[in-house]
Amino acid sequence: MKVLVTGAAGFLGSHLCDRLLLEGHKVIGMDNFVTGRPENLAHLADNDDFTFVEHDVSEFIDVPGSSLDAIMHFASPASPNANSPYGYVNLPIQTMKAGGLGTLNCLGVARAYDAKFLLASTSEIYGDPQVHPQPESYWGHVNPIGERSVYDEAKRFAEALTLAYHRYHGIDTRIVRIFNTYGSRMRLDDGRAVPNFLKQALSGQPLTIYGDGSQTRSFCYVDDLIEGIYRLLLSDEHQPVNIGNPSEMSILALAETINQLLENPLEFVFFPDKRGEGDPERRRPDITRAQEILGWNPTIDLDDGLTRTLPYFQENL
């Protein structure tokens, strides 16, 4: 296939480009570098099957060439951390434009080329959930005007728009709801838990815990996530599918794991009042549909995934 990947220079987008090229596809990567990094794609500079276009997806998209088989829309800020310059709280307009206008433009391209369309959605559409774990049938518990709404509502709109194009125009669509993921090529100053803790532990600093650390997340290694997304692309499923690791743990337990892995003798510093507005208490995917439809399960546990991630952070600190 010939595949357009938006957000190609981002953490997930760059790994997705690698997987598509490995499978023998031709890839057009697109990014405007608001949060993506050129370094994430530098290794593809001499790959004849890869073409890069610097472009903002909220503007009209002109695809090089006369054919296109699939579009995978991954362009968006994704970090909820208000202390990071790359968090969507600090990029509110860009975030909503990527989710709204960007999705609209990508769907227009899919319609013009009769191409498949895969939307990268998020577990954030469930908000601070009142159902646990979260199945795709759960409609969510979201504040539509809170700080996080610029991301939550952009993705909820993007899902609605995607299925509208599927139902009205017959576009061959897919929607993946991505839960917390980690691995190489994350920004060290991203502000999310894994990069923040790894950076602090490698620097011999105490780990900063927002709140009391009892809030939970489910951490999926990037290779597992990309495998699930690739299987979804090749499937015939049009309804949203959760992809994430159902192994749930507290943020404090994650910090303890990283300190043990790096033999960091320092403990933690707690900031009770620094949890962001609307920060979910619990987050865990119900992956029954991914198991049944895609035959997918995560295979890499946290210790193994962190060990694989560590060299990247050591080299880039």
165 is a catalytic site residue? no
Cα torsion angle, 148, 149, 154, 157, sign: positive
Catalytic member of 86, 113, 126, 151: 151
Distance CA 285, CA 297 (A): 12
Amino acid at 155: K
Count of Cβ atoms closer than 10 Å to residue 197 Cβ? 26
The pair of structure tokens assigned to 1 is 């296939």
DSSP assignment, residue 134? B
Cα torsion angle, 7, 9, 15, 21, sign: positive
- Residues 183/230, Cβ–Cβ less than 8 Å: no
Which residues have C-beta within 8 Å of that of residue 112, sequence separation ≥ 6?
none
Rg from Cα positions in the chain: 19
CA torsion angle 236 7 243 178 (round to 10) = -130
DSSP assignment, residue 293? I
Backbone angles phi, psi at 214, to 5 degrees: -80, -15
- Residues 82/89, Cβ–Cβ less than 8 Å: yes
Backbone angles phi, psi at 210, to 5 degrees: -85, 130
Active site members: 151
